[in-house]
């Protein structure tokens, strides 16, 4: 009986691609490295510590 219902209603698979947001994130990351004039290794760390560098830079501007 279970095989009969599967034959009537085949399983559908929906594929979603989020390429646009990935490209936006990558562009923003590269902009941040260039804007803050980070060295190569600090740029690599910026992948993980991006919010820290933005906050540190903006707080220096406001004070």
What is the torsional sign of CA 44, 50, 56, 61? positive
Q: What's the whole-model pTM score?
A: 0.44
For the residues 43-49, what does the mean pLDDT come to?
Answer: 78
Q: Residue 3 has what pLDDT?
A: 58
For the ranges 4-8, 25-29, 37-41, 54-58, the lowest mean pLDDT is seen at 4-8
Residue 1: the pLDDT is: 52
8 Å CB contact between 34 and 17: no
pLDDT tens track for 10-37: 788 887 777 888 888 888 888 878 887 8
């Amino acid at each position: 009986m279970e095989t009969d219902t599967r034959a009537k209603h085949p399983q559908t698979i929906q594929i979603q691609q989020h390429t646009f947001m990935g490209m936006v994130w990558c562009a923003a990351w590269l902009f941040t490295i260039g804007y803050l004039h980070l060295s190569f290794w600090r740029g690599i760390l910026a992948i993980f510590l991006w919010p820290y560098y933005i906050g540190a830079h903006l707080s220096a501007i406001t004070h």
